[in-house]
Structure 1
Amino acid sequence: MTNTNKAEAPAGGKVPQEAKLSASSTLKLLMSYAKPHKLAFLGVAFCALLGIAAELLQPLLVQIAIDNHIVKGEAGGALVKLGLLYLGIAVVSFVFTYLQNNLLQYAGQSIVARIRKDLFGHISKMSMSFFDRTHSGSLVTNVSNDTETISQFFTQVLLSLVRDGMMLILIVVLMFSLDAELAAFSMLILPVIFVVAALFRSYLRSTYQQARSRLSRLIAFTAENLSGMGLIQSFRQEEEQLGRFTEQNRNYWNANLRQIRSNVLFNRTFDILGNAALVLMVWLGGRAVLGQSMEVGVLYAFVSYIRQFFQPINQITMQWNTFQSTTVAVERIQRVLETKPDVPEPTEKERLPFEAPSIRGQVDFRDVTFGYRADRPVLKKLNLRIKAGEMIGVVGTTGAGKSTLISLLNRFYDVDEGSVEIDGIDIRRIAGSDLHAAVGLIQQDPYLFSGSIVDNVRLFREDITREQVIEACRFVGAHPMILRLPGGYDTHLSERGSGLSAGERQLISFARIVVFRPKILILDEATANLDSETEKLVQEALTSVSQGRTTVVIAHRLSTIMHADRILVMQDGRLTEQGTHTQLLARGGHYAELYRHARQSGREQLPG
């Protein structure tokens, strides 16, 4: 029902301190999402164990074939049986590897889907001040890229840790069972591996964080420019904005190259270590075979295992960057999830009964003081009563506090001092869903979603029937306009309803009010950008929907407010004048001055 209005809310206002997140809390968050899928992960571990065991038995079969049969010149049935057994083991390895991958993908994708749902749900419940200080591009990155990185953790990193970890342990056991001395030599490389990993750790993390940060800025810049493309083209700023985009793109490109170079250097270092160890083992094993202290089949099995020994180590180390990426992504998501709304929901003890359909709609501002910054109050000790069913017009220059007034009534922000009440109930003691069901907001540029006319009127709520939508559109006078569209009520609108005029979008927003039936209606300069003919249609719709509702109209056009029951004049956060249009003109105050200025300039619009 309601939407944000940030016209007077400076970015960066009332920013809470961000808590530094520990690695343990990050891991705890991941495990909390993984816990419901523990049986699936146990299945993954079981399948991985059987698949690896089958795979590691293959070199032993070859060793037996070489030492017990081929070297002795024996062939025939025994080798055929070993060959069939080898093939059977390969099939078993394939089957369990297939099951392991499918189980892991199911669990991983389910976890990420739940994280996305929780993240989007949490963002949608945040206060307006959160969106004042948080770039939309950063939030898009959280919901899309960061969750995809977490998906890679479960499908790649976790798989590597489980499968390659088990393989490494089993290989070490088999190597020591074949030749303890040669196996001990191969273990000397492990300390070198740990040292290299420790040296690269912080560097890899910093390169990923820098690339992620610059990607967020690039997405935010792109989204901002796409939204304001009309303004950019009107002022011929295409080249200027392209230059700024190029700079952002170059910064991200440089950060990506730095990250890729660090990954290649890290992974190739381990390749070199693995190859050096393999050469050493072949040399030592070859000398043992020549000295007849080791059989050829044992050397073959040992070389196979030493190659496989570095394969899981290499795989695990190659996942290091993904693990670092996951850590950063989880920290970013966790920071959002742990951000508490500046406007909290009342507790069960604080909450008072409030049924939107049964309220009268009286609004009281009692000694209200509020500022987006503590040192800059916008409203100062404001006292105002709006009677149930009364239509109020609000005028004033920019920065006078008009939009702040409605933001507080919608509880987008909480007052610093005083209270805002509906029917004598402090809105801080009303559940957010109940409050927004009672207060309807129509903005200067109503937001329409991608979807049909019907879906945009009922905001995708299936419990509101098509007949109710059509009846509401008839009531506000939008029905003839909708029938002229190619698909009528099923016409698919593009993002923000770009296929409709400003007046047509406003009529649809009025139809929403009729469908959702709020008792209090707020119009924030809803007719400011309309031509006189379209304004007449919207004015008629306003007259229809305001019947029986408390209506607050913030407007520049005199024609919108001059017939209001009362007009409020705001200056510097204070209510300086109030009365009917005729009374205010007779008083000769600020309103009369605004009126004369509008008449002299030949406009029907108040300045500011």
Structure 2
Amino acid sequence: MSSQLSSDVRPKKPEEEQELNRFAAFKATLQYAKPHRKTFAAIALCTILAISADLLQPYLVKITIDDHLAVQNTDIRFLVIIAVIYTLLSLVSFLFTYVQNNLLQFAGQNIIARIRKDLFSHITRMSMPFFDRHHSGSLVTNVSSDTETISQFFTQVLMSIIRDGMTLLLIIFFMFKLDVTLAWFSLSVVPIIIFIAAIFRKYLRRNYQLARSRLSRLIGFIAENVSGMGLIQAFRQEKEQYGRFTEHNESYWQANKREIRAHVLFNRTFDVLGNLALVLMVWLGGLAVLNRQVEVGVLYAFISYIRQFFQPINQITMQWNTFQSTTVSMERIWKIMSNKSNVADAAPDQAILLTTEQVRGQIDFYDVSFGYQDNEIIIPRLNLHIEPGEMVGVVGTTGAGKSTMISLLNRFYDVRSGRILIDGVDIRHIPQNSLHRIIGLVQQDPYMFSGSIIDNVRLFREDITREQVIEACQFVGAHSMIMRLRDQYDTLLTERGSGLSAGERQLISFARIVVFQPKILILDEATANLDSHTEQLVQHALNSVAAGRTTIVIAHRLSTVMHADRIIVMKDGQIVEQGTHHQLLSLHGYYENLYNHAFKLSHSAL
């Protein structure tokens, strides 16, 4: 009894767990085919009609040979009738094959479009810890390459299962109808086929997984280098990066060669097996004809069927390779889709919806602790109160916890302990869509999308009019800069806004704030990379945008926050000093050291 219990509760082996995950991924993918049940039923019907028309043709030739030519029947009308029927069967086969392929492509592409849409939507709902764990190159592969591989399952593998599976069954039916003994000889190769497929199964999967993982690394490496091309050229790293690219490329090439070699060996093995079976059938059937045990027409039909018998088997085995790659892609996508966001919205009965009109902008941190990893604490216990409409500057050295605090307020991450409140409401009870409308974030390097300036300001929302965008740009001082461009507001920007200076991109990001009207404004090192003239323009835009809003400014340059209502000085995740610029200087503490250090740097630069 105890041994039975121990065997029941024994931990699953990695192979067993992987098989369960693979089955779960396959099952989840098939759920997308449910809305197309009627289409697949029509595909199956068209397939049966097309295959039946194909397989009746050798049987017609058998009738012609045995019932007409062998008995020297000279009635030409019989041959004409057979020829007409043969032609009609060919047309029927063509028509239903055409309809079947179109229906399959329609259903398959619809399924893949929905999977790709759901996958992209799922990725966009993930919290920041998800993107910390998953490389961008890998996610691009998931959305583009893996979904395309799954498309092959619905448009190739599934078609092969339906068409070739039915072809095999009908061929076996016709062979047994013609001659039972020869039919059993033909089926004797089936165990050999199953044995070879079982041997190659793990070998093919292992090679495909290796190729896919190396392709993902290659794509990730390319994405990193394209994004950091300015840095590569500035430090003359082209040769070193080319060498690293060559290593990744060579690694993927080697894995690809192994995969192709395995596929070729697998497919050619079945070709040889099919040819040997055909030779055996000709020999056995020829002996039977010579001994008058089988008619010539029967032998002809049997040879035709045995050739057709190995065609669907070969097709199925070739699709087995595709199926292997498909299941790997399904598993990869399922792993992404099964990820739950670390930051989840509250249950509907606990959610508190705040509109921008209701929000005053009061912010409170109560005993907030946080660390990115389980074994680290970046912010030990943070307490902070910010009044509605107050402008607060946050300063400190790198690693002091400034940006982490802002990430927690935006709820990119959830606190380990403690609470963050907006107008007395815990942000964990505010739906994230509502929270991100309340808070506007301007980062050090604002992101520009491929599209016009108009679209980059209103972020592709058609409900925001062109007039509203122009008015916002005028408000922040970006209008004159935009009007100098060739196509003005219709100027097309490439990814990251190449062609615009850092200051011009910042002005556009401020215009976004004006358009979307958040009640809390956060600037994360927004002036860190600007020259003094551009900083003045951005500072003027900041003062315009910050009016009437609770504003938090994380500053690299102390000059940016010197006129703030209050300055918070952070060190090791804690607030060590706070007050106005003059109050902090009078303390002769940590802020004064930062100020003197910054003053010396600016003096030495002059």
| TM-score w.r.t. length of structure 1 | 0.95
Partner of residue 180, structure 2: 180
The residue matched to 2:570 in structure 1 has which SS?
A: strand
**Aligned with 1:602: secondary structure?**
helix
Structure 2 equivalent of residue 190 of structure 1: 190
Shift in CA distance, 20/235, structure 1 to aligned 2, threshold 3 Å: farther
C-alpha distance in 2, partners of 1:347/1:555? 37
Equivalent residue number for residue 415 of structure 2: 415
Tell me if the contact between 2:353 and 2:434 (Cα under 8 Å) persists in the aligned partners: no
CA deviation digits over 1:167-186, x for unaligned, max 9?
Answer: 00000010010010011111
- Tell me if structure 1 keeps the 8 A contact 2:26–2:331: no
Return closer, same or farther for 1:21/1:378 CA change in 2, 3 Å cut-off.
farther
1:277 alignment partner AA: A
Provide the residue aligned with 1:381 in structure 2.
Answer: 381
Indicate conservation of the 8 Å contact 1:104/1:154, yes or no.
yes
Counterpart of 1:524?
A: 524
How many Å apart are 1:275 and its aligned residue?
0.6
Name the counterpart of 2:271. 271
In the TM superposition, what are the counterparts of 1:428-507 in structure 2 within 5 Å? 428-507=428-507
Q: 1:296 Cα deviation (Å)?
A: 1.2
The alpha-carbon deviation at position 21 of structure 1 amounts to 4.7
The answer for unaligned runs of 5 or more in structure 2 is 1-16
Quick one: structure 1 residues 285 and 19, their matched pair in 2 at CA, closer, same or farther if it must change by over 3 Å?
closer
State whether residues 564 and 580 of structure 1, in contact with CA within 8 Å, keep that contact through their aligned partners in structure 2. Answer: yes
Using a 3 Å threshold, how does the CA distance of structure 1 residues 515 and 144 change in structure 2: closer, same or farther? same
Q: Does the 8 Å CA contact 2:567/2:578 hold for their aligned counterparts?
A: yes
Provide runs of 4+ in structure 1 moved above 3 Å. Answer: 18-21
Q: 8 Å contact 2:218–2:252 — kept in the other structure?
A: yes
Corresponding position of 1:320: 320
Report if the CA contact (8 A) 1:21-1:331 is conserved. no
Give the corresponding residue for 1:169: 169
Q: State the one-letter code of the partner of 2:529.
A: N
SS of match in other structure, 2:552: strand
Gaps of at least 5 residues in structure 1 are: 1-17
Distance 1:135 1:425 in 2: 34
Q: Is the 8 A contact 2:503 2:535 kept in 1?
A: yes
What displacement does 1:603 show? Answer: 5.1
Judge conservation of contact 1:559–1:604 (CA < 8 Å) in 2.
Answer: no
Query: What's the offset of the Cα at 1:297?
Result: 1.1
Q: In structure 1, how many angstroms separate the alpha carbons of the residues matched to 2:146 and 2:314? A: 25
SS at match of 1:523: strand
Amino acid aligned to 1:481? M
In the alignment, the residues of structure 1 paired with residue 567 and residue 244 of structure 2 have an alpha-carbon distance, to the nearest angstrom, of 45
Q: CA deviation at 1:28?
A: 1.3
- Whether 2:8 is the aligned partner of 1:24: answer no
The residue that corresponds to 1:337 in the other structure is 337
Identity of aligned residues (%): 66
- Work out whether 1:217 is the aligned partner of 2:217: yes
CA contact (8 A) 1:410 1:439 kept: yes
SS of the counterpart of 2:233?
helix
8 Å contact from structure 1 (residues 357, 518) kept in 2? no
Indicate the SS of the match to 1:366: strand
Q: Does 1:123 align with 2:132?
A: no
State whether structure 2 residue 64 is matched by structure 1 residue 65.
yes
Q: Residue in 2 aligned with 1:282?
A: 282
- Contact map agreement 1:567 1:580 (CA 8 A) in 2: yes
Cα deviations across residues 269-297 of structure 1 (Å, max 9, x unaligned)? 11111110010001111111111221111
2:403 paired with 1:403:
yes
Mapped contact 1:557–1:604 kept (Cα < 8 A): no
C-alpha offsets along residues 173-202 of structure 1, whole Å, 9 cap, x if unaligned? 100100100111111100000000000101
Write the distance in 1 (CA, Å) between the matches of 2:275 and 2:19.
41
Verify the 8 A CA contact 1:392 1:553 in the aligned structure 2. Answer: yes
- In 2, the alpha carbon distance for the partners of 1:200 and 1:234 equals 50
Distance of 1:378 and 1:144 partners within structure 2: 37
Structure 1 residue aligned with 2:38: 39
User: 1:558, 1:604 within 8 Å by CA — same for their partners in 2?
Assistant: no
Between Structure 1 and Structure 2, how many residues are aligned?
588
Rounded Cα–Cα distance in structure 2 between residues aligned with 1:555 and 1:203: 56
CA distance in 1, matches of 2:75, 2:565: 107
Structure 2 counterpart of 1:84, one-letter code? V
SS of corresponding position for 1:356: coil
Q: Deviations over 1:230-289 (max 9, x none)?
A: 111111111111111110111100000000000000011111111100100011111111
**Structure 1: how far apart are the matches of 2:522 and 2:353?**
23
Match of 1:6 in 2: none
1:514 aligns with 2:514: yes
SS at structure 1 position matched to 2:460: coil
User: What is the CA distance between 1:305 and its match in structure 2?
Assistant: 0.4
Amino acid at match of 2:316: I
Cα distance in 1 between the residues matched to 2:583 and 2:22 = 66
How many Å apart are 1:599 and its aligned residue?
A: 1.4
Judge which range, 172-181 or 345-354, deviates more: 345-354
Residue 307 of structure 2 aligns to a residue in which SS?
helix
Name the CA distance, whole Å, in 2 between partners of 1:195 and 1:283. Answer: 25
User: 1:561-600, aligned counterparts within 5 Å?
Assistant: 561-600=561-600
Q: Distance in 1 between matches of 2:238 and 2:412?
A: 35
Q: What is the DSSP-based 3-state SS (H/G/I as helix, E as strand, rest coil) of the residue aligned with 2:602?
A: coil
CA distance in structure 2 between the partners assigned to 1:345 and 1:75 by the alignment: 83
CA distance in 1, matches of 2:527, 2:241: 31
Conservation of the 8 A alpha-carbon contact between 1:598 and 1:604:
no
Which amino acid is 2:50 matched to?
G
- Asked whether the equivalents of residues 289 and 296 of structure 2 are also in contact (C-alpha less than 8 Å), the reply is yes
Contact map agreement 1:400 1:571 (CA 8 A) in 2:
yes
The whole-number CA distance in structure 1 between the counterparts of 2:357 and 2:80 is 84
Aligned to 1:54: 53
Which residue number in structure 2 is paired with residue 4 of structure 1?
Answer: none
Q: Which residue of 2 aligns with 1:248?
A: 248
- What is the rounded CA distance, in whole Å, between the counterparts of 1:27 and 1:210 in structure 2? 20
Alpha-carbon separation, structure 2, partners of 1:199 and 1:350 = 55
Residue 533 (structure 1) shift: 1.1
RMSD: 1.2
Separation of aligned partners in 2, 1:25 and 1:135: 24
